[in-house]
């Protein structure tokens, strides 16, 4: 049984609750344990995962958050840099599922976050578990 860290950017609590529910259900269904770490925003997720990874306590990571397009360029910076940071960690050998939603509006976020609809939290957890299993296979 592995322990998976769910790192969440809790900027939109009602949307994050749905992402978390999906991620937790997928991890538990696979027979693993999980812990949750909360950071203020999506830009902090790669750094938080990198810090937690140093502990050696976690076999995989799930990054959850929601970035909704606003009226400024900030959306692009947050979307691109959080994804780039997670990909850099993945290429270093960390098993990470990216569940950061990058959407135009709250309706899109709700449809993707809801476990009974898009279940992107569950999908991110499944991706992290698949990478964990792949890493174990080739270790």
Q: Which residues are annotated as a binding site for 5-amino-6-(D-ribitylamino)uracil?
A: 11, 42-44, 66-68, 98
60 SS3 class: strand
| Residue 74 known to be catalytic | yes
Residue with tokens 């606003």: 70
Whether the Cβ atoms of residue 131 and residue 97 lie closer than 8 Å to each other? yes
Q: Which residues are annotated as a binding site for (2S)-2-hydroxy-3-oxobutyl phosphate?
A: 71-72, 112
> How far apart (Å, rounded) are the C-alpha atoms in residues 16 and 88?
24
In this structure, the strands spanning 60-68 and 33-39 are unpaired
Cβ within 8 Å of residue 139, ≥6 positions away: none
In the DSSP assignment, the letter for residue 54 is T
Phi, psi of 51 (to 5 degrees): -65, -45
The catalytically annotated residue of 14, 32, 34, 74 is: 74
Q: Which residues are annotated as a binding site?
A: 11, 42-44, 66-68, 71-72, 98, 112
Question: Which amino acids are annotated catalytic?
Answer: 74
């Amino acid at each position: 049984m592995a322990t998976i860290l769910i790192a969440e950017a809790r900027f939109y609590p009602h949307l994050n609750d749905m992402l978390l529910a999906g991620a937790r259900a997928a991890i538990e269904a696979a027979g693993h344990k999980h812990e949750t770490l909360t950071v203020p925003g999506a830009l902090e997720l790669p750094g938080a995962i990198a810090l937690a990874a140093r502990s050696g306590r976690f076999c995989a990571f799930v990054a959850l958050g929601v970035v909704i397009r606003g009226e400024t360029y900030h959306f692009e910076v947050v979307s691109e840099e959080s994804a780039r940071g997670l990909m850099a960690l993945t290429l270093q050998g960390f098993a990470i599922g990216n569940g950061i939603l990058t959407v135009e509006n709250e309706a899109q976020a709700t449809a993707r976050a809801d476990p009974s609809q898009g279940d992107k939290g569950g999908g991110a957890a499944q991706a992290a578990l698949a990478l964990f299993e792949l890493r174990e296979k080739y270790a």
